[in-house]
Each structure stands twice: as structure tokens, then as C-alpha cells.
Amino acid sequence: MHRKAPGFSHGECVNKNRAEDLGNMIWYPYQQMKTMKPPYKIINAEGVYLYTEDQKLIDSVSSWWSVIHGYNHPELNQAIEAQLKKFAHVMLGGLTHDPIEKLSAKLQSWLPGDLDYCFFSDSGSVAVEVALKMALQYYMNRGENQRTMVLALEHAYHGDTFKTMEVGDDEDYHFVLNAYGKNNYVAHIHTDIKALEQAFAKYHDRLNCFIVEPLLQGAGGMRMYDISFLKRARELCDQYNVLLIFDEVATGFGRTGNRFVADLVLPDILILGKALTGGYIGHAVTVANHKVYDGFYDDNPSHALMHGPTFMGNALACSVILKSIELFEKQDYMSKIRRIEEITHREMDSFSDSRIKEIRILGGCICIEVYEPDTIKGYQQFAYDRGVFSRPFLNYLYAMVPYVIEEDELVKVLQTMKDWFSK
């Protein structure tokens, strides 16, 4: 029985009841709680499908781009269950375990170049924070204390924590700038080589890193750009001794049509999350090359990286990551992704509407950008009624489907998008 706390007003009770109507006082992400519509309640999930009490839905966004193998995968389930019989978690402070040792060795051999040193954390945002801390301290350890600036892209999204919000360029987070004033430690540029060269000419002696979502800017609007920009970035970082960071939380594991963009252009630090665990458990990793790691490897205790998430290297997460990578390799997911891209082009290349500004396709991602946000208002329910779960934002209607999707299921997702404009 709920007991009213002393001083609890009638108005507060009313507001509490409204919140409870939305789900037991849950504060949902990216929502104005007063006006949000009740979320769809999922009672089961299997393959590419989410099940509510009255609908079977193809998940066209892979639970924020993470569920690449589909839901309730028997081999991923077994990996979790097998480790659970031993233990779920032990901290890495003074302890270690087989799953993290095997995973670190696998990533060392699997990732390109000398990206060998893995620092685990429990979310993509934290993994980016770790990377930014690494970059700053790397130069501080060398006595180059003037290198306090970060170069980033316009329309960038790197996470929801404070430093990642500063480095990002999401209008929803500009309240940070409004509260604290202009940030003199971050510069943003277009994905334009001339702008890139000008930025390095201006800031190079103050920069510790250049951080990018390579080839595909996710939450900033599914913006796609050419590999030539990243190749030039690598040259300039080498020329001016600036660390290059690839945030592949969204782009890694094939989403751009490349296994990792880091396979094409090698960064100094690589960040992975989302699909890392196949969507099973929140986990991420910041992977450094030898140059960065050696900048901390010292007799001086003050040169150590002072960071340590409680659940870093969680044994269940490590176990499912190992199995996820095995599935990715064994079932030739890159061929699956190429097929998704091929079908998407076939279905969408001839489609147009006067309200559409651009249709962008890259690997396992399609984005329809409209001129006016109101154009796609109501699409989520429209798609729900037709058996597709979608979550458009601003003026972007997009899909990032699980890689195990069948052709008829993918066509249904794409046809639902087209039907919206012809209704």
C-alpha cells in the first residue's frame, strides 16, 4: 500500500498518477513526459519481430541499431546461460576472468592494424568519454598541456554525457552552450576537405584529437560522406601529430557496408558499442593503438588512465560478444548486408515525392529526409498498424534493420515508407 509522504500536495499526487499511467514512474528517453504517447508494450520478441498484445512488428531500427542478429537468438542465449552458471560479474579491479581475456585476444586479432589495447565500459557514451580522456591525457603525459582542443563534425552525435554533448553538435543539447557559454575547446567543421585543411591549419598545435562518426553520421541525420575526407584526415593527423578517433558505435559491425570503416582508414582510437553484444547487454569498448597505449605505460603512477566503470568487462557481456563475433564471421554477415543494400536500392532508387529532400542509402541504412518535419508526423502509428516498428526523428524517416531480415520482410519495411507518401 502506497503511503503519502509528509508535505505531498494534491497536485503532486495528480502528476504522480499521470506518470504511473505511462508505466510505473519510468522516465523515458528523449520524451516530454507530460505530452508523450504511451509506449508500445512488448511481451515477446523473436527474430526480426517484436510482439505486443495485438500486433506483430518488424523492428526496422534494430532497437537503436544494436540487434543485428535478431531477438532471442538461441546461440547468444546459450552463451549467456553458460556463463551465468559460473558467475555473472566480477569487477576488474585486481581481478580478471576467462571471457574478458578471450575477448581481448579476439579483438586484437580481429581488428585492423595495431588496434590492440581494449578498455571496456558499459555504454557507447562512456566509451567516447574514455577516448576523449585518453586523447587529452596522452598529451598531458608528454608535457604538451596546450593540446586541450577537440575537432569534431557539424551534426555530430557522440553520446548523452556532458563531454560527449560538448563534442557533439545536436541541437537538442545546445542547452549546454546556453548554460555555460561558448565552448572554446571544441571546433566543428563540415565534411569538406577544404574545411578540414583550414581547421588543421588554424588549430593544429592546440588539438589533441579529431573525432568522427566515419562515413555515416547517425543521430545527426543519417548524413553520409565520402571516404576521401577520412583519408585526408588521416594524413593531416599524421602531419600535425593529432590523434584520430573513430566513433564506430553506430557504424561498426557492417552498418556502412564495411566491416568497420577502420578497415579502410586506420584510426588511433576506435570506439565500439551497440551491435557489439548483438543488443543483449549494454557494453562498449575503446580500443587504442600502440602509440596511445605507450603514452600511459610508465613508472609514473600519475600517467595511468584513471577510469574504471563498475561493470566494465562484465563476464556475461564478454561471453555474448564472443559469440556475436563468431556468428558475424561464420554466417558471412557482410554478404547479408550487401544484399540488404542491393534490395534497398532496387526498391527505392526510382521512388520520389515532392516532399522528400533526399533519399540516402549506405550499407544497412536508408534515410528519407523530408523538407518539413510535419510531413512524417504520425508515421510511427501508421507503420505500427501495418506491422512495422519505426521511430522517425525530426525530418528523418529511416531504417536500420537486423541483418537476418528476409527479403520479403525488408520489402515490407520499404513499402510501408513509400505507402506513407501515397496515402
- pLDDT tens sequence across 136-153: 999 999 999 999 999 999
Looking at the predicted structure, is the pLDDT value of residue 187 above 90? yes
Domain ranges of the chain: 28-59+332-422, 74-330
Strands 117-121 and 284-288: antiparallel
Residue 17: pLDDT band by 50, 70, 90 thresholds? Answer: very low
Looking at the predicted structure, is the pLDDT value of residue 236 above 90? yes
165-183 average pLDDT score:
81
> Are the folds of 28-59+332-422 and 74-330 the same?
no
Q: Locate 351 and state its grid cell.
A: 521512388
What is the structure's pLDDT at 84?
A: 98
Residue 13: pLDDT band by 50, 70, 90 thresholds? Answer: very low
Q: Active-site positions?
A: 30, 157, 247, 274
CA distances from 189 to 133, 196, 199, 211 (A): 21, 7, 8, 11
- pLDDT tens sequence across 102-123: 999 999 999 999 999 999 999 9
Is domain 28-59+332-422 in CATH 2.40.100.10, yes or no? no
**Neighbour-count burial for 67-82, b at 16+ CB within 10 Å, e otherwise:** bbbbbebeebeebbee
Return the CATH number of 74-330, one of 3.20.20.10, 3.40.640.10, 1.20.1250.20, 3.30.70.100.
3.40.640.10
Average pLDDT, the chain: 93
- Closest by CA to 164, choosing from 230, 247, 242, is 247
